[in-house]
Amino acid sequence: MSQGKFQNKYRISSIRAQWWDYGWNGAYFITICTQDRKHYFGEIQNDKMVLSEVGIIADILWHQIPIHHKNVELGDFVVMPNHIHGILIIDKKLNNTNIVETGHALSVPPSEIFQKLGSNRFQNIGKNTISSIVGSYKSAVTKHANRLGYPHQWQKLFYDNIIRDNNQYQRISDYIVSNPENWVKDKFKTEET
């Protein structure tokens, strides 16, 4: 990653694929870590995630993403002690613009119940790109954690992977679902101090 100057400040150039529009239809594997990999979200006990208060907020607000972002569906998702993994699916209705065939099976659209629930908890919802969706999610979690007095900070960047086919989608889904039972060998695992 190279650094460039923007408004007289050094910044890291984008880690996103320059050849891809992150508002295009597709499935995206997202990982968001906490600052310094602190265990804000809970702990693993007997190969199961036990959520803290902030972990509950992170879980609930992830499931509300489709309410606040049009044409976004959720794949598998897990909250871990210091990060979250999830699949976001952008599925804009076909209108011959920005259509990219990714070869994955899209999930069933969110139920009408979830579309009608909730208020406008998320910010920056107009763009419907992966960056705007993740940014508004992170902001909402931080806002609600702070409002309730729970300590929490995100790492500035997040990881994404464009899912290219059904096999990759299934491998990632399996990885997400089994993440708590594989915590001891997780690359994001840190010891809580």
Check residue 94 and give its pLDDT: 63
What are the residues whose beta carbons fall under 8 Å from the beta carbon of 28, sequence distance 6 or more?
Answer: 22, 87, 88, 89, 90, 130, 160, 161, 162, 163
Burial class (CB in 10 A: 0-12, 13-18, 19+), 143: middle
Q: Quick one: CA dihedral 169, 174, 175, 179, positive or negative?
A: positive
Q: Is the pLDDT of residue 76 over 80?
A: yes
Check residue 161 and give its pLDDT: 87
State pLDDT tens for residues 2-34. 444 444 444 433 444 444 444 557 898 999 999
Average pLDDT for residues 85-89, to the nearest whole number?
Answer: 95
Q: Is the pLDDT of residue 176 over 90?
A: yes
State pLDDT tens for residues 105-151. 343 333 332 333 333 444 444 567 888 999 999 999 999 999 999 99
pTM, two decimal places? 0.73
Check residue 17 and give its pLDDT: 47
Average pLDDT for residues 139-165, to the nearest whole number?
Answer: 92
Average pLDDT for residues 80-107, to the nearest whole number?
Answer: 67
What are the residues whose beta carbons fall under 8 Å from the beta carbon of 9, sequence distance 6 or more?
Answer: none
Q: Where are the beta strands (DSSP E) in the chain?
A: 3-6, 9-12, 26-33, 42-45, 48-51, 72-79, 83-90, 159-163
48 pLDDT tier (thresholds 50, 70, 90): very high
Average pLDDT for residues 91-109, to the nearest whole number?
Answer: 48
Q: Is the pLDDT of residue 75 over 70?
A: yes
- When the pLDDT of each residue in the chain is averaged and rounded to a whole number, the result is 77
Residue 109: phi and psi, rounded to 5, are -55, 150
Out of 16-25, 86-95, 115-124, 157-166, least confident range: 115-124
Q: Is the pLDDT of residue 171 over 60?
A: yes
Q: Quick one: CA dihedral 144, 159, 156, 176, positive or negative?
A: positive
Q: Would you say 12 and 3 are in contact if contact means Cβ atoms under 8 Å apart?
A: yes
Burial class (CB in 10 A: 0-12, 13-18, 19+), 134: buried
Provide the residue type at 67 as one letter: I
Q: How far is CA 65 from CA 38, 50, 88, 136, 152, in A?
A: 24, 22, 9, 9, 20
Check residue 100 and give its pLDDT: 42
